[in-house]
Copies of this chain bind each other. A is one copy, B any other.
Amino acid sequence: MELRQIRYFLKAKELLNFTEAANSLFISQSTLSQQIKQLEIELDVLLFNRIGKRIALTEAGEMFAEHAVQSLNKANDGFLAMKDLNNLKTGKIIIGVTYGIRSFLTPALIEFSKKYPDIQVQVIFGISDELFEKLNQLELDFVLSFRESMDEEHFNYTYLFSSPMTFVTSDKSLIEGKETITLEEIAKMPLALPAKGFSTTKFINKIFTTSKLSPKISIEINDIQILLDIVKTGNWHTVLAQTTVSDVKELHAVPIAGESMTRSAMIISLKDVYEKKAVKVFCDILQKINSKES
């Protein structure tokens, strides 16, 4: 039994005339006759009484039609659901975001949701390592994160923008007013840094190591919001991408002197995975917003 036969049967039932049904389906009458006969043989019932040149539905035919029409409708529903998905009329995207990029996400989120209100967007904030693990487990559609290299073969990397790494300090501290600061100067300050899973921390460790300096780390913490509160006290400082604190008014970001003191924000996704149309559209919006801001 195939949907084709069901389609033929239901049309014949509707028109109660094999020739008309065949014409309506753009097939020959003999095809329709044969396919319905096959269905009858398979079901071991007669679906139609053939009376002279006319047809009448049998009890079996009536009974079968109830199920047949539902089967066909469900299949059509499936087809239409795929259409909706492709037309951005339904679906869901799941985005992993690191802290420093949240302010760039918001405008894209607003624009996307306004344009495609039927698409559900789930945003998961997290530290880089966790987010990439979720990406590998197909739990995320993409990750927004800072990255220094595009070194994982199975990932797609799409550049968004660069943000300078800055020395972040409180407005209360004495360091306000400096136009730039060196790593040597930072190495003498009490620092509160993100915990080990943060890509920012990896970056910080790398630049200090490269410069043969040791930072004076007083605090390591895995919550950026609390980290910022600690810096607000004026007793500790930190090093973060400028975008991380661009909207925090009690904090001051001082550019760090030296080369390679910028980090690139990227859209990172899995290569082998089918790119949902909604994901593609969202990323396009992200890039559009980024090019506008630069």
- Any chain B CB within 8 A of the CB of A3? yes
Which of B60, B74, B86 contacts A74 (CB under 8 A)? B74
Q: Please, what's the 1-or-0 string for A1-34, where 1 marks a CB less than 8 Å from any CB in chain B?
A: 1111010000000000000000000000000000
A50 touching B82 by the CB < 8 A rule?
A: no
Q: What 1/0 mask marks residues of chain A from 58 to 97 whose CB sits below 8 Å from any chain B CB?
A: 1110011011101110110111011101100011100000
**Chain B residues with CB under 8 A of A81:** 63-64, 67
A64 and B82 contacting across the interface, CB-CB below 8 Å: yes
- The answer to whether A59 touches B91 (Cβ under 8 A) is yes
- A276 touches B (CB below 8 Å): yes
- Stretch touching chain B among A40-48, A260-268, A282-290: A40-48
Please name the residue on chain B nearest to A276 by beta carbon.
B59
A91-115 with Cβ < 8 A to chain B: 91-92
Contacts of A44 in B (CB 8 A): 82-83, 86
CB <8 Å contact, B71 and A67: no
Residue of B nearest to A279 (CB): B59
Across the interface, do A46 and B274 meet the contact criterion of CB distance under 8 Å? Answer: yes
- Interface flag for A150 (CB, 8 Å): no
Within the complex, what minimum Cβ distance (angstroms) separates A92 from chain B? Answer: 7
Give every chain B residue within 8 A of A91 (Cβ-Cβ): 59, 63
Cβ–Cβ contact B74 & A71, under 8 A: yes
A197-238 Cβ-contact flags toward B at 8 Å (1 or 0): 000000000000000000000000000000000000000000
Q: Complex formed: what's the CA distance from A83 to B42 in Å?
A: 11
Complex contact A78–B82 (CB within 8 A): no
Q: Which residues of B contact A151 (CB under 8 A)?
A: none
- The answer to whether A67 touches B63 (Cβ under 8 A) is no
Q: Which of A52, A63, A91, A276 has the largest number of chain B CB atoms within 10 A? A: A63
Chain B residue, CB-CB nearest to A77: B67
Taking CB atoms, residues of chain B closer than 8 Å to A124 are none
Q: How far is the CA of A285 from the CA of B79 in the complex (A)?
A: 50
User: Is there a chain B Cβ closer than 8 Å to A138's Cβ?
Assistant: yes
A7 CB to closest chain B CB (Å) equals 10
Residue pair A75, B1 in contact (C-beta under 8 Å):
yes
The reply to whether B78 and A67 form a contact with Cβ atoms under 8 Å apart is yes
- B78 in contact with A71 (CB, 8 Å): yes
| CB pair A82 B68 closer than 8 Å | no
Contact between B68 and A75, CB atoms less than 8 A apart: yes
Q: How far, in Å, is A21 (CB) from chain B's closest CB?
A: 19
The 10 closest A-B pairs by CB, nearest first: A67-B78, A71-B74, A46-B274, A71-B75, A70-B74, A43-B82, A2-B2, A67-B77, A51-B272, A71-B71
Can you offer 11 A-B residue contacts whose CB atoms are under 8 A?
A: A2-B3, A3-B75, A6-B75, A43-B78, A51-B273, A63-B90, A63-B91, A64-B82, A67-B81, A68-B74, A71-B78
